[in-house]
Amino acid sequence: MQNGAQASEHTIETLTITDGQAVATVTSRTSAGQLAWQEPCEIDPADLTGDPIASAAASLMKGGGYLEGGVIEADQTPLEVRKLTSLKRVDQLREIKVTGGCPTEHGIVQTDDVSIRNILGSVQTASLSAKLETPFSIEWRMADNSVVTLDANEMIAMGVAVMSHIKTCYTRSWALKDAVEACQDEVSLAALVLTLD
């Protein structure tokens, strides 16, 4: 591959056709499923006959093509495709839940990436202050814009609540993913309620 990466599987994520030009976004993964490379590849519009994705794949694998010498694996079944879509939806729901705020004894605290970093940093400072028996006090702006003053123990308790919140979100998402994978047909998958509440 152009970046020296080693990959065994290539997937056309998107195919965009505009103004007579066609571009396929190709994601390449290792045999372990790890992302190796992603790149937009131009497709000759004249090659796009019949099914667009299949035609684009054939174009990429022809002589001189980006994936020359490759072979097309059997298409996934509708159930497999729906499972993948459901698994991605679970990931989205988990991120929404993780970053959507966490209840604490002082109210809801923000849990976006920046807020979590700030909380963890303040918890470390509070823990050190408690260990050294030095005064600690911090004003914290909550999700509703109210400001609370926390001592070391209260700051640590907030950190514990946030980490417990994140762990719960991941645990529920893993259970839901297991339920998706366990579905044996589209009927059972359709009946599965995708929620982390």
**High-pLDDT (> 70) share of the chain, %:** 91
Q: DSSP letter string over 92-126?
A: HHHHHHHTT-EEETTEEE--SHHHHHHHHHHHHHH
CA-angle at 169, arms to 166 and 174, nearest 5°: 125
Please tell me the predicted confidence (pLDDT) of residue 168.
96
Q: What pLDDT was estimated at residue 105?
A: 94
Q: What is the pTM for the complete model shown?
A: 0.61
pLDDT digits (tens, 9 = 90+) for 131-184: 999 999 999 999 999 999 999 999 999 999 999 999 999 999 999 999 999 999
Distance (Å, whole) CA 38 – CA 58: 18
